[in-house]
Amino acid sequence: MPSFLVLNGPNLNLLGTRQPDVYGTTTLSDIEADCVTYGTEKGISISCLQSNHEGELVDAIHAAKGTFSGIILNAGAYTHTSIALRDAISSVELPVIELHLSNIHAREEFRHISYIAAVAIGQICGFGAAGYRLAIDALLGHLK
């Protein structure tokens, strides 16, 4: 059975109350529960982790090697700043999908830059919480 790590970065613990006009009103707990349920329907084991700390996210990526079949990563603001996350992804040789709730390409110019994109198999952005299901389907399709 495939297993995916759904990894969420800084400030995503505030979903539901943080800028609902940009990120919607769905909470991270709701998203994680939906991922687990949807994964079960698809025959995939899903584990979820959120951290506001870059090093903890790097550690989670490292620990994923040999444990998970792939990673769905919403790195939040670290997308635009973290070479450490990029290097961690390159190091583990797992397929990673970069995910964003909002369309980062339609927002501030600094959000157009992604250090993750070059080492990810693809990017999903702008579909809100539904993007997580899209990412699960895309990662599963990539593995087949």
Tell me which DSSP letter residue 121 carries: S
Q: Are 7 and 74 in contact (CB under 8 A)?
A: yes
Nearest partner of 20 among 132, 102, 112, 135, judged by Cα = 102
Residues 6+ apart with CB under 8 A from 141: none
Catalytic residues: 23, 100
- Report the DSSP pairing between strands 122-125 and 96-100: parallel
